[in-house]
Each structure stands twice: as structure tokens, then as C-alpha cells.
Structure 1
Amino acid sequence: MAAVLEVTGLKTSFATQEGAVKAVGGVDFSINKGETLGVVGESGSGKSQIFMSIMGLLARNGSATGSVKFQGEEILGLDVQALNRVRGAKMAMIFQDPMTSLNPYLSVRRQMTEVLIQHKGLSEDQAAKQSAEMLEKVQIPEAKRRLNMYPHEFSGGMRQRVMIAMALLCGPELLIADEPTTALDVTVQAQILEVLVGLQRDFGMAIALITHDLGVIARMADRVMVMYAGNIVEKGSVRDLFKDPQHPYTQGLLESMPRLDETEETRLMTIGGQPPNLQNLPSGCSFRDRCRYAFERCPVETPLLTPFAEGRSKACHLPSL
């Protein structure tokens, strides 16, 4: 299967007065056409910064190195004009807070038609027609009327649908969804996920799904990439990872999920301690101070992400859990 996105040795850091913050420590992964890659980890694990680097949306003090190939073309380091021909048109992103991502002073019509006018060269009327059609596809009722409304006139779930519609206007090959169901109630979350599944089926696009919600990963993803302290600690199919986690951090994340069939053996667990300071990472394994299995090799040698079964890899010194 052809890879839509290939990332090799991506590192991202931010210059601060206290020193460099190593947000992403050198990651390799790919996403295939029609596939959903789940990216999971605690806040500050580097999930979003990977894709902000790819999209060229880092803060001014941020820098990224490595290789990012989109449909075989190197895009990391492209100038803004060249990058704008890719993002929005071929690669789009849904941000986690639609209220701050949508401009409150502009109507939804203005914000949506602007995308089509810029990237597709459509007239205002053509752009408005396609925008209304896309609002209908994300299940917003009375789309033509609502197109002229402002963001504050929509509920949280409807604003998220507007964001999805805007991201899909140009039929992107890759959709990056950063916490697409954050701050939505459970019923609305389910509706949004169903919309994404249906649109992926209709458009055949690849999805990078960034979330801390393992329930969303289980429902949506084909493969999973677990992040910790800016690095990938485990990769594999969603089935393998949930059935047989092979990194202590992945195991801890799964044990911290509430279960309806909870017993004494499956009671809710927590991962002790805090993630490390990215300005001063510990020697050896970054997870060692929180790991129940840590032994003498862990503080001395940094574990590399190594294949251990077909389609699976982990960064851990333990042969198995």
C-alpha cells in the first residue's frame, strides 16, 4: 500500500531562556492511503508537535529537522508559499478547540469560501454552493441558512463539524485530527467519530488521529503509535497493542482506562510520578523513574525502537512483558 506520509528522523525543539525544549526526539513513521494512524500519549508527549512540525505551524522559537515526505515530495523546510500549496489543499488539520480556531468576527460562509477561492480558484457563488454541500455531508441541518451564521451561534459539536467541513473542502489526501472530540459530551463524540468514519470511506483519505483517549483509538485506528517524552515507545496494530501491550508505558495507559467489567484483577490503576522535564531528560530510558520493571540497564542505556514481531516495535530493554 502506498504511503501518503513518510517521516524519518523528525526532531523538534524550542529555544527558551532556560535552554532547549526537546519536544520531539527523532521519530520515524508512515501513514498509508485510507489508513487511520492513532497517536496516543499523555499531554506533553510530543503528539501534536510532530504534526505541527509537519504542517509548518511551529511557534517562532521552534525548529524541526529530519525528513517529511508527502506523496514522495520533501515538504519539511519548504517556504510558506510552497507549503500553502500542500496544506489546506492536500493535507488538512482539525484543531482541538474550534472556538479559538474559527474566526469569531467572520461568518462561516466567509471562512469556508475563502479556502475554495484560494486553493481551487472558484467564484464566490461556486464556493458557497460547495461549502453548503460539505456542511450537509458533516450532518449540519439547514446548511444553506447556517452557512451565513457566525461561530458563536453554533454549539460545540456543530462548531467541530464546521471545522471538519472546512478541512475537507479541497478533498485532502491526509487529514490530521488533533483531539477532535475534546470537550464534547459522549453522545456528540460518537456522532463526530461516525462522521469521520463515513467521510474517510467516501474520500479514501488517510487520517492521523491524535488523542489521549484510548477508547477513540480502539474504535477508529488501524495502527497505533504510543508517544512518551517526545519519542515513540511502541508501534503496532490496534488489535495487537490492546491485546498484548509490550511496553510498560503502554501497559500503564491501558490499565488506567476505566472498565465496566472491573474486578480485583482489572481495577483502575495509575502510572506513578510525572513525565520528565524535556529540557533535562534523564539518562537512559526516559520512562525508567515511573516503570515498575526498571532494572540496572535502564538508567545507563537508551532503548531504541526495535521490531520484535511482524508490524510491531518497541523501545524497551525487556524482551517481553
Structure 2
Amino acid sequence: MAIAANDADTKVLSVENLDTRFATPDGEVHAVSSVSFDIAKGESVGVVGESGSGKTQIFMSIMGLLAKNGHSTGSARYRGKEILGLPARELNKIRGVTMSMIFQDSMTSLNPYLRISKQMTEVLVEHKGMNETQARARGIDMLDRVGIPGAKARFDLHPHEFSGGMRQRVMIAMALLCEPDLLIADEPTTALDVTIQAQILDLMGDLKRDFGTAIIMITHDLGVVAGLCDRVMVMYAGRVVEKGDVRDIFYRPQHPYSQGLLGSMPRLDKAGESELSTIPGQPPNLQALPPGCAYQERCPYVFDTCRSAEPALRFVDERREKACHLDTLPAPGTARQSETLGVS
């Protein structure tokens, strides 16, 4: 069951039971398993987890950008219209127009041979029917809005003539040219210094307020989620292990993996109180997932049921879901004593 957006009448995207698999010479990779969620206008949802957890593949599936060996099933409805599996010609009426994606590496996402002006104006000419003069004026205005200094003078530069932070702002500007309903941002602050990161997050907060843009933030950085998002979805081994409101999950995580992620974050308010904790081991091989819970080999609270039965995603309160056999998550550092754990 999908976690509901705040108002069912304002749902921008509704995903149900999304599965994504890749055929490889070494066997099938189950990259995304039974993922469901909704997002409403003006809302932001964070998708967090380690590299390889399936975060990006969810949205590559929805956008129709999977590699040729990938295949998705389930449902993805944009404004009530099913878009999963739509032909490219139909998807192109949505992609980059009312649903945009900012990719992780801005340098490789921008065409190095074309000036920024060309890459921005062709979107407006193609999708909005503007002439070149109108498109240039709109492009310069959007670069100005995302904080590019001297936007008019920089408009005809090539991507390599911009700094990393400015290229990321250019990508955001391009994604917003057609004023999309939904912005999907894949690690938008990766490799940027902390000052630029803060500016990018402030900008996205402005987009929510000024444009009513729904934002999906794909990231491994929980600090980014805390600063921008309303709700969060925690991914592990292609599955959702916990989702709910940001404050609930940050202050009272209900899954051991969420607890581990939060415990591994450096915190200035607790400097010197204890050593930084880590999650032991490595994520499982998606081609050979263990029976039962995929997190069992790394979980400090594992017991027999975890090794034999895969936990279903279930509601633990009105706004929170988790996939864990524990009814109540022990405090960090609690010893493994299955007899003291409330289990379902």
C-alpha cells in the first residue's frame, strides 16, 4: 500500500508495486522490488539508502530511461495517467516539460560541445513553441533565478566554462524552464562544497514555495533530507524498509537500517560524547539475496524469524510503515537478546 500524499486530489505522481529487473550474463538482478509511494503538489519526498539500493532505478524506470536489459512492471500514474511503459514519443510530451529530472553528474549530463544557450533554448522552442528571441529571454531569466551571476554574459558559454556549482544550477534551470509539476533530483549536491550545497537546498526550498513544485530528492545524505523534505523513504537492497514523516523517522526510527544510517551521521551537538558508529558488512548481492530479511547479516537485533521469513511492509502508525519483524526497535547499543524483543 502506498503511503498517501497529504491530499489525494493533489497527487502529482502515484507509484504502485514497481518492480525493476535487469538481465545480465551472470543472472537476473532484482534492482527494485514492490515499491509504492505518492507525492503531492508542493511536497518533497527524500529517497535515501546506500549506493546500489535501487534509489535511482525507481525513477529511471518511471522516466523510461532504463538500460536496454532492464524491464519494469507495476504502475506509475502521473496526474492520473499511466506512464510506465509508454512509448518514447508519448513520454517526451512529459519528460523535461511537466516532469523533469536533474541527474547526478552535471558535467556528463550537459552536452560539452553545445553552448548553454543552445541546450536551454531548444527545449522551449520544441515544447513551448517559442521563437529564438523569446527562448533566449526566458533562458537568461531562469539562470538569473537560480543565482547564476552575470547570467546574460554567461548564457553563450560552454559547460566547461562554469564551475561545478554553477553547472548544477544550470541543470536545475534547464529542469525548470517549462515550470514542471514534478522535479526529480538525483544527488544534486554531490561533490559540491558545503556553501554551494546550502545554496542549492535553499533554491529548491524556494521552488516549493514559489512554484508549488513537487520535489523528489534522491540522496545518501540524511542532512539534505532533514533540510528540505517532508517525508522520507528508506531503501535497502531494492526494497523500501521504512517510510514516513521526516521528523518521525529522524527522532524515532523504527527499522534497524534507518537507525544505523542515523547513527553513522556526524553530529556537532553530540561531539565528543561517543564514537561514530558504523553499519558492519556490505549490502547483499541483488542476484542472490538471502532468504528472509535482506538486512539480516548486518542487523544487531537479528533472530531466527529474520533468517526464514521476509518481513512485509506494514503500518506501525497512521503515517509510518516499516518492513521489520520487530514490533519495537530497541535503543542503539542494545545487546542481541531475542527473548527481550517484541516480535510479530
Same fold, TM-score > 0.5, yes or no: yes
Bucket of the pairwise TM-score, normalised by the shorter protein:
over 0.9
Checking the alignment, whether the CA contact within 8 Å between 1:14 and 1:61 is kept in structure 2 is: yes
How far apart, in 2, do the equivalents of 1:244 and 1:218 lie? 14
How far apart, in 2, do the equivalents of 1:264 and 1:284 lie? 38
Quick check: 1:307 aligned with 2:315? yes
* Partner-residue secondary structure (3-state), 2:248: helix
How far apart, in 2, do the equivalents of 1:144 and 1:225 lie? 39
The residue that corresponds to 2:49 in the other structure is 41
* Ranges of 4+ aligned residues in structure 1 off by more than 2 Å: 261-267
Seq. identity, %: 64
The residue that corresponds to 1:255 in the other structure is 263
The residue that corresponds to 2:92 in the other structure is 84
Aligned pair in 2 of structure 1 residues 236, 266: CA closer, same or farther (>3 Å)?
farther
* Partner-residue secondary structure (3-state), 1:207: strand
How far apart, in 2, do the equivalents of 1:147 and 1:12 lie? 39
Deviation for aligned residue 1:229: 0.2
Quick check: 1:119 aligned with 2:127? yes
The residue that corresponds to 2:335 in the other structure is none
How far apart, in 2, do the equivalents of 1:56 and 1:96 lie? 17
User: Any idea what the Cα deviations from partners look like across 1:140-181, whole Å, max 9, x if unmatched?
Assistant: 111111110000000000000000000000010000000000
Give the number of equivalent residue pairs: 321
Checking the alignment, whether the CA contact within 8 Å between 1:108 and 1:148 is kept in structure 2 is: yes
How far apart, in 2, do the equivalents of 1:299 and 1:96 lie? 36
Deviation for aligned residue 1:11: 0.4
Checking the alignment, whether the CA contact within 8 Å between 1:20 and 1:279 is kept in structure 2 is: yes
Quick check: 1:175 aligned with 2:183? yes
The residue that corresponds to 1:212 in the other structure is 220
The residue that corresponds to 2:62 in the other structure is 54
User: Any idea what the Cα deviations from partners look like across 1:12-66, whole Å, max 9, x if unmatched?
Assistant: 0111000111100111111111000000000000000000101001111111110
Letter in 1 for 2:276: L
- Aligned pairs for 1:65-76 (under 5 A) are 65-76=73-84
Letter in 1 for 2:277: M
> If the length of structure 1 is used for normalisation, what is the TM-score?
0.99
Deviation for aligned residue 1:264: 6.8
Checking the alignment, whether the CA contact within 8 Å between 1:22 and 1:279 is kept in structure 2 is: yes
Structure 2 residues not aligned, in runs of 5+ = 1-6, 330-344
Structure 1 residues not aligned, in runs of 5+ = none
The residue that corresponds to 1:241 in the other structure is 249
Quick check: 1:160 aligned with 2:183? no
Match of 1:18 among 19, 26, 38: 26
How far apart, in 1, do the equivalents of 2:297 and 2:273 lie? 24
How far apart, in 2, do the equivalents of 1:136 and 1:125 lie? 17
The residue that corresponds to 1:107 in the other structure is 115
> If the length of structure 2 is used for normalisation, what is the TM-score?
0.92
Between stretches 73-82 and 195-204, larger displacement belongs to 195-204
How far apart, in 1, do the equivalents of 2:273 and 2:24 lie? 45
- Aligned pairs for 1:137-156 (under 5 A) are 137-156=145-164
- Aligned pairs for 1:216-295 (under 5 A) are 216-262=224-270, 266-295=274-303
How far apart, in 2, do the equivalents of 1:145 and 1:259 lie? 41
